[in-house]
Each structure stands twice: as C-alpha cells, then as structure tokens.
Structure 1
Amino acid sequence: MDLQLSARAGRACTVVSVGGELDMDTAAELHDFLQEVADTGAVQVVLDCAELSFMDSSGLGIFLVWFKELQGRGGRLCVAAVQDTVAYVLRVSAVEQVLDVYDTVDAAEAGVPPVVP
C-alpha cells in the first residue's frame, strides 16, 4: 500500500496527514515530505495518523529524526489520532514517552504553543 501525505495550516502549527503504511519502503517519502514542510518555515508539526494503518521501526526512526530536527529549530513534533496498531508500536518502543501523543488532531493543535520569533 502506498503512503498518502498532505499538509495544511493548523492553528499554530502545520498538520501533516499520514495515511497508508509507513515502512522501510515508504519512510523516505515521509522524510522528504517533512523536509519540504520544514523548508517552508514550519517548526510546529502535528502528524495526523488517523489513516495510518501500519508502521514499523523505519517509521519510528523518521518520527524521532524529525522530533529532534524540529526541536533543534525551536519547535516540536507530536502525533495525533493514532490507530491501535500504531499506538502499540509507539508504546512497546517507548517512543510515546518522548513524543506527545494526542487522541485527536484538535487536541494536538490546542496543545501547540505559538512560536515566538
């Protein structure tokens, strides 16, 4: 299954919707897409994972790389609306202790502080 990616302006962030399967075959697509988003100046990113049906360690790696990258730019990366299979991967890998995980995209957007220039 292919990876579906899109971005939209959120309240004080950019919401990136990730759908399909995130694995070693598609992880580079997410990395490149997040690079494009960051190149536009976005530093507060919410990953909307409502349509993400599968994720392996390659996907976890991309989440962590971009968590650190955005943190280094004074921003943050968080995830929202994860399905049970993805939530399980985040939990057993302890990544949910590093990334903020929200039940909904609205909750994630509300939790993003505005960036002060």
Structure 2
Amino acid sequence: MEFSATSRQGRVGTVIEVAGDLDMSTTPQLRDRLQELTEGDVRVVVVDLAGVGFMDSSGLGALVVGYKSLRERDGWLGVAGASPSVRRVFSITSVDRVIPLFDSVADAEDGSSLVP
C-alpha cells in the first residue's frame, strides 16, 4: 500500500488521514504535515490511523512532537482508529497515557471538547 498523509477539515479541527505503514521511511511525511499545521493557526488535530497496519517508534515520535507543539499553543491532538497492533505500540511505551486514543474520528472530535 502506498503511504499517504492527507488532511481535511473535521467538525472541530483538522483531521489527518494516514494510510500505509508508518515507519522510518514514511514518518517524515507525517512529521512535515503536523509541523505545517502546528505552525499555522490550527489548534485541534485528530490523526486518523485507521489505514495504518504498522507503526514503529519513529511514527510514535512524530505524534509526540506534534502533540507537544499543539499543547504549547493550548491546542490538542488525539489519535483515532488505531489497529490493535498500533495501539500496542502506544501501550508498551505508555504514550497512551499522554495522547488520547479513540475508536473513531467522531469519538476523538467529541473528546477534544473535554480538554480545557
């Protein structure tokens, strides 16, 4: 599967839809997309990982950097649709205690309103 990281306007912010494996060779595309958004006026980002079958630590790192950048601007980042194997990466590293994981984009958008 070809990798892609496209964004669209969601109900409460920007949704980045990621498809393909998220590894050292593809993570720069996601990192660049997150950086573009966080340097702009975007305050809420939902990263939809429903199309991702594999994610390594570089992908996780890009999400953590994006999360931190948004928090510094009083923003919010959530992850939606992660497969069990991708959720395991979050769990093993305890990043799921920091970045909220949701079953769907709609759930994430609803959850973003709970953050001050």
How many residues get paired? 116
CA RMSD of aligned residues (A): 1.8
Structure 1 stretches of 4+ moved >4 Å:
none
Q: Which has the higher strand share?
A: 1
Contact 2:38 2:69 in 1 (8 A): no
Q: CA deviation at 1:23?
A: 0.8
Structure 1 residue runs without a partner (length 5+): none
Q: CA deviation at 1:8?
A: 1.0
Percent of pairs with identical residues: 41
Letter paired with 1:53: G
The equivalent of 1:93 in structure 2 is 93
Q: Counterpart in 1 of 2:84? A: 84
1:47-80 deviation line (CA, Å, top 9, x unaligned): 0110011100001110111110000011011101
Change (3 A) 1:90 1:44: same
TM-score, normalization: structure 2?
0.91
TM-score (norm 1): 0.91
> Unpaired runs of 5+ in structure 2?
none
